[in-house]
Chains A and B, each alone.
Chain A
Amino acid sequence: MQELIDNALVRIGSAASAEELETVRVEVLGRKGVLTQLSKDMGKLSHEERAARGKFINASKEALEGAWQSRKDAFEREALAKRLDAEWLDLTIPAPQPRLGTLHPITKIQWEIEDLFRSMGFSVLDGPEVETEFHNFDALNIPGDHPARDMQDTFWLDGGYLLRTHTSPVQVRGMEKLGPPLRMIAPGRVFRNESVDASHEHTFYQLEGMMIDRNVSVGNLIYFMKTLLTSIFHREVTVRLRPGYFPFVEPGFELDISCLICGGTGCPVCKQSGWVELLPCGLVNPHVLKMSGIDPNKWNGFAFGLGLTRLVMMRYAIDDIRWLQSGDLRFLRQF
């Protein structure tokens, strides 16, 4: 009997395939298998013999089933390994199109600056690109005969309209719409009628902003600008104000920052002066407030302009402004 079992164990162990193993299983463990045969004549055996036979059969069954199971697992593992191996993929080849696209560098910087302002309680407003003469000039204290109009070469349109030369008209619209107190910025596309070269564009992006409240001082303006610019440039920025003339502010300033390249000691970027002219600003002219329906005796504030295009060029060290409007993917895909 033991020989029978040993034989069966050998056959399980030597089965060459899952199919062969199955044949062996049927022959050994199946209904007509060896174990079944062994239990067939149980009825003829004595009580003691039966007990001994039963024990033997159970032990053998356990041994055979164990052997079969481990052999079967081995075959399955092998089969899986084979299938997986057959499924080899070269993951080093590129993924199919499309890749992630890109946002325009101006969009990226504009969003960054917008978020910064929003975190300081500013509203971000939009306005039309085609403006009336009133909103672009008169409401900003630049009447028709004002020489300041020469400072901004204007694209004039049919019907007496114009392409806005700055985003300041949005400030006027913002004051009209929201009233004081007010913190707002107006980023957007502006136009100047000039020839294009590496550093001049007739189409560029600007961001203008204002804060209208009670008792806003020059000291507040300096503090705010310092905070703002420190956040924009991700480092401590030293600023200075000097007189500048813009009809919609009084007093008006040019704000310089200490040169970020040389730290203020003088280099070609700052023309050896240690300072870089960055933005015009000032206290909002009372006439401008009045024209927008705000009482200048109760309210005042500051306003400033920030060249977004210029900021983009500084941030990414772009040496030719024309790339920005070129639509050239070799450039755009870098952002």
Chain B
Amino acid sequence: MKFSSNWIREFVEGLDLPAESLERLITMKTAECEGVETVGALLSEATPARVLTVEPIEGSHNVKATVEAGRYGVRTVVCGAPNCRPGITTVYVPLGVKVVSGIESNGMLASGAELEITKDHAGIIELTEPLPPLPSADSVIEIDNKSITHRPDLWGHYGMAREVAAIAGKPLRDPVKMDLLPKPGSPVQVEIEDLALCPRYSALVFENVRVMPSPLWLQFRLIAVGLNPINNIVDLTNYIMAELAQPMHAFDRAKLAGDTIYARPARAGERITALNDEAYELTPSTVVIADAAGPIAIAGVIGGRDSAISEGTTSIVLESANFQAASVRKTSSALKLRTDASMRFEKAQDPHNTVRALARALELLPLISPGIRLVGGLADQMRAITEAAPVLLDLDWLARKLGRELEPKAVEGILTSLEFRVAQVKPGVLSVGIPSWRATKDVAMADDLVEEVGRMIGYDSITPTPPLVPCAPSYDPPEREFLRGVKRQVSAQGYSEVSNYSFVSEEEARKLGLAVDDHVRVLNPIAAGQELLRTSLLPGLCRNIIENAKYSEQFRLFEVGHEIHRVDGAKPVEKSHLMAAIFSREGDGREGLFELKRVAEGLAPGVRAHAVAEPREWEHPARCAELWWNGRAIGRLSEISPRIIEEGRAAVVDLDLELLRELAPAPASYRPIRKVPGSAFDLSIITEARRAAVDLELEIRRFAGELAESVEYVREYQGAPLEPGQKSVSFRVVVTAADRTLSSAEIAEMRARLIDGLKSSGFDLRI
């Protein structure tokens, strides 16, 4: 929102602060300013000038003109405007002497656009008698819209002027003369179907209207605050909106069907072509303004094209209404149409303001459309306005909240300057009446007044004070420390942490064979690749592998992040996972897989890999395993299919971190060191080459039972004298007794028992 400092000055008597100071004060006490710019900079030197003579210049479309330029005397200028002719009054700007088309030109004649007082750049500006005073250059302060979303009153200059007056300690002048407002009795009737959606609709009817360009001062004001001048009637509605924050609309009365104006929900199937030439299909959730024939405006958003003001308009209905903020906001976002009106209404405008705007129009309309006549009185339908109850403000409480002492007089002064109605209930307690323009959304409780007093007295006046807090240990969720440990451990083993998006594209999911239906879908992605939420860290890491392989021969990566899984009829489930990846352009991939297995073992000591029955689509079908720990599957170890990683070898290990933390054994108590040594012997089992070693180990354990302290894989062997397709796998078995050294006879017996057991289940042993 742009604020003209000239405009603000009209309402603050004796305001002598430069715009830059205003900007700083407004930033510190009211809302964030984004900068100050000068509009109409040329105006400070400009003067009206009459063109005396015009001569063509040979070989140029420019002309040489002499002008009577007020305080600058007679000047010769070169001008390129097609309308430069003797007798007209235009504007001269002294810019120094410059040679143009071979002629010395002392200054220039300016167009309205060059002066920034109109949008016209077709030719030099032409002033008509009686000569209007040229407006003064303006400093425009831009306020961040986000910082005034809670302040409906700050969407107009008068509201900002009230802040400035309070900040500067100057009197505020209200531009509205309410006594101009006529008595009820308008030629148009107003019917509001739902007073919740349209709490107030006020209107006046005028005749003998002349539609023409607005006077310069009005056009200049609109341009300064970023609005486009259109014609005097439309410009006036915009002017009052920018001044009082009350959006208005003017209908061409001749184009309305009947004398009743309805504010009602649209009927299903109704359509309207709006002022922006777009046609909108309306639904009953949209409130429209309608005449007997149908919608003539989308309430609070935009007017209809067919009833718009045009050059031939002679009679108007001037609307000044109040609409429900939520309804306007919904309509505006449903139609994807944000207008100056909708932006204001969705902040919850003050219903008192409708007639104020009409009173202001009554004063200004004769200035911009001379001869205009009011027809009849005021049309005004409304819901009873309930005044907000006063808020009790305990001054001790206020001082505690702010953390500084406060003079009761200072508090009263601040609130009064912002037009809160202050009365003392008892010593130290104020009753604070909330002005209607602050009561719609913004101020409702004492805490809101803390802000009013705090910002005006200045937060820099508060002494920083250490808080008094209980001496208690903080609650630390154990999973956080666990996650840190995981990240530290994996990175210490050579892996670099990456952070990938939570999004995957449908195409990616398909390519990896991840079921698209298991994904949570994003309903409003704004870029490609954001359609789904990741159910695995894999897609991100695959992207990383492919990208980094462009620069690197070998690398290690990991990510700790959330998998997000769709659940029918319930909130999606998030699982914290670790995925570590290794890539090498050279080699057969074996080393990488076992290195990853070691990473898994570091986090889950004793983790076992088991062959998987059905490899996933993205996995190398002969190089993948499920990882089991303490009776649960906690993850997978897999080489990525060459279909995905075409060059080099890439493998990943994927671990469910929540499960891992849950299964991690609690620290056990100390086990005394055994005094008698265990005895070891080796067993070599002959089996088919693809038999998983872990299965053999489990078989041995099954037969060894309590006897075996450990069963460890030693090595395997293929080749003569074994049959092709066979292998021999050796395990070292350590057996012990708790209290004594086993005799060789006992050991031999145990070994024999194991061998018999294994043989009985069909294993061949090399003995």
Contacts and interface: CB of A to CB of B under 8 A. Distances in A.
Interface of A: 97-104, 106-107, 111, 114, 118, 121-126, 128-130, 132, 144-145, 147-148, 150-151, 154-159, 161, 163, 178, 181, 183, 189, 191, 193-196, 202-203, 211, 213, 215-220, 222-224, 226-227, 240-245, 247, 250-254, 283, 285-286, 300, 324-330, 332-333
A218 B526 contact: no
25 contacts: A98-B556, A101-B490, A101-B496, A103-B491, A124-B476, A124-B477, A130-B571, A144-B326, A154-B524, A159-B569, A161-B572, A178-B475, A195-B526, A202-B501, A217-B401, A222-B464, A223-B467, A227-B466, A242-B28, A245-B147, A245-B148, A251-B455, A324-B499, A327-B499, A329-B552
Interface string B639-670: 00000000000000000000000000000000
Contacts of B574: 128-130
A329 B557 contact: yes
A148 to B, nearest CB: 6
A158 B523 contact: yes
Nearest to B402: A218
Nearest to A227: B466
Interface string B341-367: 000001100000000000000000000
Q: Which 7 A-B pairs have the closest CB atoms?
A: A219-B403, A98-B494, A217-B403, A145-B326, A251-B451, A223-B464, A327-B544
Contacts of B325: 145, 147
A241 B326 CA distance: 31
B99 interface: no
Contacts of A129: 502, 562, 564, 574
A244 B455 CA distance: 10
Given A98-B494, A100-B494, A332-B498, A219 B464 contact: yes
Contact of A328 (B32, B448, B491, B548): B548
A244 B487 contact: no
Interface of B: 27-32, 146-151, 325-326, 329-330, 346-347, 400-404, 445, 447-448, 450-451, 454-455, 459-460, 462-470, 472-477, 479-480, 484, 487-488, 490-502, 520-527, 530, 533, 540-541, 543-544, 547-548, 551-552, 554-558, 562, 564, 566, 569, 571-572, 574, 595
Contacts of B501: 202-203, 325
Nearest to B479: A126
Given A155-B530, A189-B502, A220-B403, 7 more contacts: A98-B595, A99-B494, A103-B491, A213-B470, A219-B465, A243-B147, A327-B543
A114 B487 CA distance: 15
A250 B450 contact: yes
A234 B527 CA distance: 39
A145 B329 contact: yes
B400 A283 contact: no
Nearest to A131: B571
A327 B500 contact: yes
Nearest to A329: B548
A155 B524 CA distance: 6
Contact of A241 (B150, B459, B470, B562): B459
Contacts of B499: 104, 106, 324-325, 327
B558 A101 contact: yes
Contact of A286 (B330, B445, B555, B569): B445
Contacts of B445: 250, 286
B540 A245 contact: no
Nearest to B456: A243
A325 B31 CA distance: 34
Contact of A240 (B459, B520, B558): B459
A124 B409 CA distance: 44
Nearest to A151: B146
Nearest to B404: A219
Contacts of B146: 151, 245
Contact of B520 (A104, A123, A125, A158): A158
Nearest to B403: A219
A329 B551 contact: yes
A123 B498 contact: no
A250 B464 contact: no
Contact of B459 (A183, A216, A223, A253): A253
